[in-house]
């Protein structure tokens, strides 16, 4: 033992000096990339400010926003897990990022360590013609005919869950219930049924829900890809989810080959795929079942948590703005009577202009996915004075953009989206809830419809009141933003009876 120590002890000063040199070079590299930008002057070795990000993401991103707003350039810097990051406050600079998603500029990643979670061949990582071709083939999933099929499904599921919420609140000793998990479960069932319809068995749905929860938890944890860690559990869960969805794709293709009518999104996709195959001599669609399953998972991820956040904020703002709630109820009553036992038709939904304005204003003032991370594939000149170094993770802030340009942006005011004021057109560049550029959300009409249907049905069928506590409206990241109290409310049945459809 002494001989081993006698061998090691002379090396210790050199090891310490080597580690000190590495740490010094890391700090110099960070400061060299940061240059004159606001942000921490010194960072912890390797992990940077990852711990503060994980412990309190709201405070972390508020600080980055404050740094960025403190300078005319509208950018701030930081360092996380060995990666230099930039936060973009300016709406104009955010558009510049969105407009330059290509191999020799920026790569959309969706999550700072998204490729490990989603895989290399995910829709969000595609460029050029391959990306355009896939979006063209996805488009038939969101035609008016398809959207009408989805709205019928959405309304049935929303109705069933509203009934169960009323039953649940009667069983709670406190009388109030938090809506976040209830909304999440409702949206997960909606997404599963709209996207893959009858192809998920009850057992598969149960396992699906467990795996999706693993995925959600892993999104907010450190990217440690080792057994027992949440990030590893999330990655493996995604693999299982995609395999399940791939099986649904195969079953749908068989059904569409038999000439049956589409009943869900994957049916519309497979129907169009088969039509294209018969009209062209070459192999028109070279995606495997697993690849399509991966893209369906993208839709699920994009719609699930963002939609849950939007519905929670819609309830919160309707409660705090009773005049808005009354106008929604009056408008819905012009087109839909619950006692008629009929669903809201697509043409009726299109006429609910104020309800749509409410849905859009909720998205503006509380953009659920507050940032859209990209990675710089090259050194990119963002401004005359600053070049983004290659490898930087860039976070354009969708949230901050929504508070630029608009009249009294801090005020919840759905009328700004009405025809008389048309701020949505005047300040279109600032409304980035669905992104911009080539990767703008292809399913945004579906998302708006879902929010409108929930607002219309919830306001019409339910009486409700927030169970207010100090700080209940503060923002919490889960990973989308939600009210800190999970939107705890008192609720009861408002209509004489629930509709039956």
* Among 29, 455, 393, 13, CA closest to 223: 393
CA–CA separation, 293 and 118 (whole Å): 11
409 burial (CB, 10 Å; 0-12 / 13-18 / 19+) is middle
CA–CA separation, 195 and 154 (whole Å): 11
Length of the chain: 501
CA–CA separation, 71 and 91 (whole Å): 14
Checking 58-65 for CB contacts under 8 A at 24+ apart, the result is 58/474, 58/475, 58/476, 58/477, 61/87, 61/370, 61/371, 61/477, 64/39, 64/395, 65/89, 65/397, 65/400
Token pair recorded at residue 159 = 């109705």
Token pair recorded at residue 492 = 């009861």
Token pair recorded at residue 479 = 């990973």
Judged by phi (left if over 0) then psi (alpha if -120 to 50, else beta), residue 198 lies in: alpha
Contact 75/90 with Cβ under 8 angstroms? Answer: yes
Token pair recorded at residue 133 = 């071709």
Q: What is the DSSP string of 330-372?
A: HHHHHH--GGG--PPPHHHHHH-HHHHHHHHHHHHHT-SS-B-
Sign of CA dihedral 419, 425, 427, 430: positive
Token pair recorded at residue 413 = 């005011």
Annotated binding-site residue? 166: no
CA–CA separation, 55 and 51 (whole Å): 6
Return the beta strands (E) in 37-164 as ranges.
75-80, 83-88, 106-108
Contact 227/195 with Cβ under 8 angstroms? Answer: no
* Strand (E) or helix (H) holding 388: strand 387-388
Instruction: Tell me 377's DSSP state.
Output: S
CA–CA separation, 362 and 220 (whole Å): 24
Q: Residues within the annotated binding site?
A: 441
Q: Residues within the annotated binding site for heme?
A: 441
């Amino acid at each position: 033992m002494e001989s081993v120590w006698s061998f090691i002890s002379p090396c210790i000063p050199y090891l310490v000096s080597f580690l000190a040199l590495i740490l010094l070079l890391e700090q110099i590299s960070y400061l060299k990339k940061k240059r004159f930008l606001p942000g921490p002057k010194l960072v912890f070795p390797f992990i940077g400010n990852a711990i503060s990000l994980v412990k309190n993401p709201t405070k972390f991103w508020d600080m980055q926003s404050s740094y960025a707003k403190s300078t005319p350039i509208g950018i701030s810097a930081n360092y996380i897990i060995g990666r230099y990051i930039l936060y973009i406050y300016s709406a104009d600079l955010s558009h510049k990022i969105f407009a330059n998603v290509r191999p020799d500029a920026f790569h959309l990643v969706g999550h700072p360590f998204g490729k490990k979670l989603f895989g290399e061949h995910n829709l969000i990582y595609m460029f050029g013609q391959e990306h355009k071709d896939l979006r063209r083939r996805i488009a038939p999933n969101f035609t008016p005919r398809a959207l009408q099929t989805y709205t019928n499904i959405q309304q049935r599921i929303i109705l069933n869950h509203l009934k169960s919420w009323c039953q649940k609140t009667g069983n709670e000793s406190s009388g109030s219930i938090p809506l976040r998990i209830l909304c999440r479960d409702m949206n997960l069932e909606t997404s599963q049924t709209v996207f893959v319809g009858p192809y998920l068995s009850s057992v598969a749905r149960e396992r699906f829900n467990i795996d999706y929860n693993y995925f959600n938890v892993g999104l907010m944890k450190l990217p440690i890809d080792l057994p027992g860690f949440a990030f590893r559990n999330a990655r493996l869960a995604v693999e299982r989810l995609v395999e399940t969805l791939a099986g649904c794709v195969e079953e749908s293709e068989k059904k569409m080959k038999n000439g049956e009518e589409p009943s869900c999104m994957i049916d519309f996709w497979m129907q169009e795929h088969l039509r294209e195959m018969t009209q062209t001599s070459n192999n028109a669609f070279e995606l495997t079942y697993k690849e399509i399953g991966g893209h369906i998972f993208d839709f699920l991820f994009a719609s699930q948590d963002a939609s849950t956040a939007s519905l929670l904020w819609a309830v919160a703002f309707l409660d705090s703005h009773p005049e808005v709630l009354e106008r929604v109820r009056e408008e819905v009553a012009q087109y839909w009577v619950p006692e008629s036992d009929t669903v809201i038709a697509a043409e009726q939904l299109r006429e609910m202009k104020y309800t749509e304005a409410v849905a859009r204003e909720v998205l503006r003032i509380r953009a659920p996915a507050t940032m859209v991370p990209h990675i710089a594939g090259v050194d990119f000149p963002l401004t005359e004075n600053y070049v983004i170094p290659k490898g930087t993770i860039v976070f354009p802030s969708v949230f901050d953009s929504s508070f630029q340009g608009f009249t009294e942006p801090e005020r919840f005011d759905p009328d700004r989206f009405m025809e008389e004021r048309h701020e949505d057109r005047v300040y279109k560049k600032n409304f980035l809830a669905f992104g911009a550029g080539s990767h703008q959300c292809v399913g945004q009409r579906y998302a708006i419809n879902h929010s409108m249907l929930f607002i219309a049905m919830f306001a019409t069928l339910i009486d409700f009141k927030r169970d207010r506590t100090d700080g209940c409206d503060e923002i919490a990241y889960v990973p989308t933003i939600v009210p800190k109290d999970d939107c705890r409310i008192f609720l009861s049945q408002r209509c004489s009876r629930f509709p039956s459809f």
